Amino acid sequence: MQLKSCYQGFSSLVLFGCHGVVFFSKRCLLRYFSPLGFWGLVNNAGISTFGETGWLSMEKYEKFADVNLLGSIRTTLAFLPLLRKYKGRIVFMSSIIAYFTLGNGIYSMTKAAIEKFCDALRLEMKKFGVQVCIIQPGNYARSTKIQPPVSAEEIWNELSEEEKAVYNKEYVQERADFFNNILSKGSTNGNEVVDAMVDALMSPAPKARYMVAKLKEKALVFVCALFPTVVMDSVLSYALSKVKLA
């Protein structure tokens, strides 16, 4: 458990989604908090990394799916009976990266999946009076530290021989520099995301989605949502690597 708060006699928790924490937290809630009521759940577990699709192992894909996606589902299912009983709130941490990817497709994949899970859950929970909200932060890498700067040398050393035969060190270095430049421009005002989480839990009329991002980040999402895929592919392809493969 990371955070516990109370609102009008109800309890809310921010939880990690691993098996042990979910089991322990559920037992604690049923034992101590259930008589008071259970107001809300915030699914905030998340990890990130950098790398093109073929650079990452199947084990890494499984780990990311387990933490970023299945962890949130696991926690939600564990506490759903209490949330239905007390007509509570469920808040999920997504990202604007659910709409596009710039070198961290594995992270985008899990966030896009959690968005669809939330869309289904939100509609299904309306009849019980349970409200489901999604927080979509922009680039807050400098405040959350979820993604440290990447090392081209480390990436190259971890590549399989098959991948090294396709790519070259210059390409990997250019991609790493590009990604690190994005990270360096991240906002340090992490309180903006926390404020959105609090509003989602406490507001009498919470939003289905809270996009907490800079104007240019919101504009990029707008282009993704409204323009043909070929337009977005052209924009991102231009922004990404300009180095030729050997």
Q: Which residues are catalytic?
A: 107
Strands across the sheet containing 38-43? 3-7, 10-15, 38-43, 89-93, 131-137, 209-212
pTM of the model: 0.83
pLDDT digits (tens, 9 = 90+) for 192-228: 999 999 999 999 999 999 999 999 999 989 988 888 9
Angstrom distances, CA of residue 47 to CA of 39, 99, 161, 194: 26, 18, 27, 18
Angstrom distances, CA of residue 106 to CA of 36, 42, 131, 245: 40, 22, 28, 22
Q: E-strand spans in 88-237? A: 89-93, 131-137, 209-212
Show pLDDT as tens, one digit a residue, over the chain (246 residues).
334 444 444 444 544 444 445 555 566 666 665 566 778 999 998 899 888 999 999 999 999 999 999 999 999 999 999 899 999 999 999 999 999 888 889 999 999 999 999 999 999 999 999 999 999 999 998 888 888 888 999 999 999 999 999 999 999 999 899 899 888 898 989 999 999 999 999 999 999 999 999 999 999 899 888 889 898 888 888 777 565 565
pLDDT at 75: 92
Quote the CA–CA distance of 29 and 38 in Å, as a whole number: 8
pLDDT digits (tens, 9 = 90+) for 157-177: 999 999 999 999 999 999 899
